[in-house]
């Protein structure tokens, strides 16, 4: 996803001192790899359209989400696991993503339905502001819950 800004107080044991460098996966000769983790707080705005008003209750859902960066950590990987070394540089603090899904509701009673919705999510632009690194995450998830019908 980008170069890593190494925390100056961290030097992985048994290695060269990387505390004054920006590193990438290719520049770590003594490790199995580099793991970069980003965490976002998502605020979704979804629209749902019911295809059928009677059983089977099937709906289409789509929309956009605001994503706020709340975590940015980089790790080196070796035989003993992983060790935190810093964070990925040039990560945008705010992103917009899109979602689309198909939902199915199964009635449990006259007013309660169990719902399941497979959903595909895609970030609309790269999470990195560095033009050398273009990374647009996507995910597929299955969401579920209970719906209360009020007539």
Are the beta carbons of 103 and 48 closer than 8 angstroms?
yes
Residue 127: name the closest of 23, 21, 36 by CA.
36
What would the mean pLDDT of 66-88 be, rounded to a whole number? 91
First to last CA, the chain: 49
Q: Does the structure show a pLDDT above 50 at 97?
A: yes
pLDDT at 11: 53
Q: Residue length, the chain?
A: 151
Q: What is the pLDDT of residues 36-45, one digit of tens each?
A: 999 999 999 9
Tell me the pLDDT band of 10, cut-offs 50, 70 and 90: low
What is the pTM (predicted TM-score) of this model? 0.75
Backbone φ, ψ for residue 25 (5° rounding): -55, -40
C-alpha to C-alpha distances, 101 to 28, 30, 41, nearest whole angstrom: 40, 43, 20
Please give the structure tokens belonging to residue 12.
Answer: 């992985």
Query: Would the pLDDT of 106 be above 70?
Result: yes
pLDDT score, position 60: 96
pLDDT tens for each residue of 16-64: 445 445 555 444 556 678 899 999 999 999 999 999 878 888 999 999 9
**What is the predicted pLDDT for the residue at 7?**
81
* pLDDT above 70: percentage of residues in the chain: 84
The H or E element containing residue 34 is strand 33-50
pLDDT averaged over the chain?
Answer: 85
Q: What does the pLDDT read at residue 5?
A: 85
């Amino acid at each position: 996803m980008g170069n890593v800004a190494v925390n100056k107080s961290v030097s992985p044991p048994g290695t060269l001192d990387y505390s004054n460098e920006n590193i990438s996966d290719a520049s770590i000769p003594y490790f199995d790899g580099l793991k970069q983790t980003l965490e976002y707080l998502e605020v979704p705005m979804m629209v749902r359209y019911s295809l059928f008003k009677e059983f089977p209750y099937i709906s289409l859902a789509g929309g956009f989400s605001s994503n706020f960066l709340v975590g940015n950590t980089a790790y080196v990987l070796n035989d003993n696991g992983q060790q935190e070394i810093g964070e990925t540089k040039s990560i945008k603090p705010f992103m917009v993503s899109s979602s689309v899904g198909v939902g199915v509701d199964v009635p449990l009673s006259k007013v309660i339905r169990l719902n399941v919705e497979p959903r595909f999510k895609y970030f609309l632009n790269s999470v990195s502001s560095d033009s050398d690194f273009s990374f647009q995450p996507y995910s597929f998830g299955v969401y579920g819950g209970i719906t209360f019908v009020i007539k």
